[in-house]
């Protein structure tokens, strides 16, 4: 099963039903070298290498690139998050832990190295220890700056801002978050990105 990584506060937003959309850059590196030079097109039936859900990008010079989403519609994906196991397992790799090992999620505990085992990267959380799973409902590619306030809210951001300027501030909050996560493709570049919509599996 494929996995997906989120920041701790975004995992909480997913669990509470406040985050149902994520934007990702995978598979669009070539396009985002000069994003203004490309246009996107739905995959057509007579393009053999493509599958439903893929997108074709055409450059101004006539060349094309096929973009494939990492996650397909209908696919169930597990969420990776920071975790730790018992002290007695500190010398074991994640793949070596017994299936019945006791683990804790770092977002739920006040970490104490004298009680809990070493902190483990979310990148190495085995599927069988995952507690959250999401089902992909839809995929599409779009330019980052097309995002609306409604979409920013679906991304899990909540506004605790001045009422008279809430929309502007919420957008600024989103830009700051995006740039912190994607320094190579910042907001000002207006890169192409994948928009994945999902639902929490319960």
**In this predicted model, what pLDDT tens digit does every residue of 15-48 receive, in sequence order?**
999 999 999 999 999 999 999 999 998 765 555 5
Cα 151 from Cα 102, distance rounded (Å):
38
Can you name the residues that pair with 155 across neighbouring β-strands?
19
- pLDDT higher than 50, residue 161: no
Segment among 31-45, 57-71, 105-119, 153-167 with least mean pLDDT: 153-167
- The pLDDT, as a whole number, for residue 46 is 54
pTM to 2 decimal places: 0.87
- The pLDDT, as a whole number, for residue 184 is 95
- The pLDDT, as a whole number, for residue 159 is 54
- The pLDDT, as a whole number, for residue 50 is 64
Percent of the chain topping pLDDT 70: 91
The answer to whether 143 and 55 are in contact (CB under 8 A) is no
For residue 114, the SS3 value is: coil
| Better-scored residue on pLDDT, 48 or 64 | 64
For domain 3-34+71-77+132-200, is the CATH number 3.10.400.10? yes
- The pLDDT, as a whole number, for residue 163 is 45
| Better-scored residue on pLDDT, 115 or 128 | 128
The answer to whether 95 and 126 are in contact (CB under 8 A) is yes
The helix (run of H) or strand (run of E) holding residue 134 is: strand 133-143
What's the whole-number average pLDDT of the chain?
A: 90
Mean pLDDT (whole number) for 68-73: 94
Residue range(s) in the chain whose domain bears CATH number 3.10.400.10:
3-34+71-77+132-200
Percent of the chain topping pLDDT 90: 75
């Amino acid at each position: 099963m494929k996995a997906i990584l989120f920041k701790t506060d975004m995992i909480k937003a997913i669990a509470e039903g406040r985050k149902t959309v994520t934007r990702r850059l995978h598979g669009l590196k070539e396009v985002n070298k000069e994003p203004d030079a490309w246009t996107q097109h739905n995959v057509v039936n007579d393009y053999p290498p493509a599958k439903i859900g893929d997108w074709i990008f055409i450059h101004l010079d006539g060349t094309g690139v096929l973009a494939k989403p990492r996650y397909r519609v209908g696919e169930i994906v597990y969420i990776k998050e920071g975790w730790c196991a018992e002290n007695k397992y500190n010398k074991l790799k994640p793949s070596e832990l017994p299936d019945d090992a006791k683990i804790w999620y770092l977002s739920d505990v006040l970490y104490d190295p004298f009680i809990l085992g070493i902190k483990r990267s979310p990148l190495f959380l085995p599927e069988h220890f995952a507690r959250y799973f999401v089902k992909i409902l839809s995929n599409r590619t779009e330019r980052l700056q097309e995002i609306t306030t409604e979409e920013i809210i679906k991304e899990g951001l909540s506004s605790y801002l001045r009422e008279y300027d809430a929309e502007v501030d919420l957008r600024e909050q989103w830009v700051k978050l995006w740039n912190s996560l994607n320094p190579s493709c910042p907001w000002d570049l207006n890169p192409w990105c994948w928009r994945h919509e999902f639902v929490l599996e319960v």
